[in-house]
Amino acid sequence: MIYSNPEFLILLIPTALLFLLLNSYSLRFYLLLISSLLFYAWAGIFDTIVFVSVILFSWLSLWAAHKWPLYKKLFVTVGISIMTLHLFFWKYTPWLTEQLQFIFPNLNGGKKLELPLPIGISFFTLQGIGYLVDYAKGKASFISLKEFAFFKSFFPQLVAGPIIRMRQILPQMQVLEKPQADQILDGIALFCFGFFKKIMIADSCAYFVDTVFANPIVYGRGTLFLALMGFTVQVWGDFSGYTTMGRGAGKILGIELPENFLSPYLASSPSEFWRRWHITLSEWIRDYIHIPLRGRSRSELRALAVLALTMVISGLWHGANWTFMICGLIHGLLLVVERLLLSWKTLQSRLEGWSYLVKKIFNIVLLQSCIIFAWLIFRADSFYVIKIFISNFLSGAKDQIVTPPSGHVYLSIFLCYLIQIIFYTQLKSGKYVFIENLKNKFEHLKTSRPLLMGLFWGGLLSTLFALSLVFRYANTSQRFIYFKF
């Protein structure tokens, strides 16, 4: 079920209304659980069977670990292995078979192995593994099957994140308070804003980007660059749009989900980028891969190797393809370079005499160039596409055929950076850098003229939503990019 399709609202609105009407906690709990399973069942019976089996098997290992504490680690390991193996089987076996066929051409009768990939598999597997690890370390408590099922299946975060931790959802799940009007309004606002990002930014670029990437050889430098920029904003609009809509849906149902994007394209260092981009995944990888791999070693070499390896694993998590792995490696190397320079600040200090703003812009542009290049690797279906992109770009080739209309792409790029500038926040304080005063004024007006401001805010949100609807019809909404991960 895609958030930007009407069937999602057909599920969300009745669920939210019933949730408000029901007074019993259990009824509210089961309502959300059933809606969540219904949401996933929309993907198909096969996906649902896999999903439910994963929930059952991983909970059974948790139950066994709880029942026989002596063998806690063993059962938790079994649970983690089941989830890792099933992720590996569905996601990586076809690719691995293809690679092995270079050595053993008759493997699988020489045919390409095709397996259906259950939707959102990477997200709910990571979430489950995270919980089991926390349980083994004593950071999370044992929960019943129904609570576990709720944790894994809560639909506003189910298919493409944010990847929630048990500690974030358990306190809310055990209360399931009815949302107040303010919370519902915030949810609506987030949902509309996410929808706007998905339709006006991501989908507006999709045709142009897909067309150029499908046949890059016939396009010249300018078109290729525009397509690459288009994909850069598309992937942000798509993924952050999805998680914003999910957070909005969660809020409407009274559950807070963590923020996942904080103006990542305005980051001025690679590590800052990962503190702003897909934050919940970055944190998951840090806690469950990077820290365990690094261990207590103080070796700088090991630290650098682990950093690069972690990012390669992160790249591979996105999909079974060499391009994803290399994209991860590029990000890993960027982090390594940053670390080698002790900190990005060292680089800044070498630019003595430059004003703070100039240095900041220089850093952002430098990092953006690297990220845009990494997106090329990420988006390309094969090395051939990357090669064509680079060679056509360097040779200054010109378009050989009529280029697809690109007006929307310029608008999307503008909107993407404008939104990130407007909502740019300081990581430590969480305060908006540019609109904090405006926000305070708005809060003041909300108190002094609540009715007028309410009508104004409702009008603004509905305009945003209606505008996105109009463009959605014109563009035809695309599937979310991260659904395939």
Partner 1 sequence: MSSIFAKAAIISFIINISVFIVISQIKPNTPQNDSNTVNIENIKTSGLWWLYPALHETTGRTIRLQERPDLFHAAFAGYPITLLYDEQLWNKYFKFTFDFDLRMPASTQMNDPFLMMSWLGNLEILKKYGADTLIFGSSEAHRELMPDLFSKSISTLNNYKKFLFLTRFGMLQESVTKMALIVKEIKKTQEKKKLDSVVVGYSFWWADFQETAEIQEQNILLKNYFEQHGHLKWLYYNGPTLFNVPTWGDIAKIRYLLFIRPRPRSPPPIKGKLIKDLGDNGYLLFKDDVNQIAEMAKYTPPYSSALQGQKLRGCTQESIYNAKKRYKQMLIALNEIAEKIYIYLTPVTPLHSDHAHPCLRDYVKKMLVESASTNIKIKVSEWEDYGLTWQDFVFDGNTPETMRLDPNHTNRSGAEKVTKAISHWIKLGGRQ
Give the binding site for partner 1 (CB under 8 A). 4-7, 180-182, 184-185, 188, 207-208, 210-211, 214-215, 217-218, 381, 400-405, 446-447, 450-451, 453-455, 457-459, 461-463, 465-466, 469-474, 476-478
Q: With respect to partner 1, which residue has the nearer C-beta, 301 or 402?
A: 402
Q: With respect to partner 1, which residue has the nearer C-beta, 13 or 365?
A: 13
State the Cα angle at 143 between 167 and 91, rounded to 5°: 75
Whether 318 is catalytic is yes
Assign 65 to helix, strand or coil: helix
Q: With respect to partner 1, which residue has the nearer C-beta, 126 or 209?
A: 209
Q: With respect to partner 1, which residue has the nearer C-beta, 350 or 441?
A: 441
Q: How many CA atoms lie within 13 A of 186 on its CB side?
A: 13
Q: With respect to partner 1, which residue has the nearer C-beta, 174 or 462?
A: 462
Evaluate whether 262 touches 427 at the Cβ level (below 8 Å).
Answer: yes
We find the least distance from the C-beta atom of residue 214 to partner 1, in angstroms, to be 4
Evaluate whether 281 touches 314 at the Cβ level (below 8 Å).
Answer: yes
Own/partner contacts of 225-228, CB < 8 Å, gap of 24 or more, are: 225/393, 226/406, 226/409, 227/409, 228/372, 228/375, 228/376, 228/379, 228/389
State the Cα angle at 35 between 33 and 41, rounded to 5°: 105
Cα(289)–Cα(299) distance, integer angstroms? 17
Q: With respect to partner 1, which residue has the nearer C-beta, 14 or 450?
A: 450
Measured distance between the N- and C-terminal CA atoms of the chain, rounded to whole angstroms: 15
Cα(483)–Cα(118) distance, integer angstroms? 10
Report in angstroms the alpha-carbon separations of 209 from 143, 259, 323, 479: 45, 28, 18, 14
Query: Which one of 86, 278, 290, 318 is the catalytic residue?
Result: 318
Angle between helices 356-379 and 322-340 (to 10 degrees): 160
Active-site amino acid positions:
318
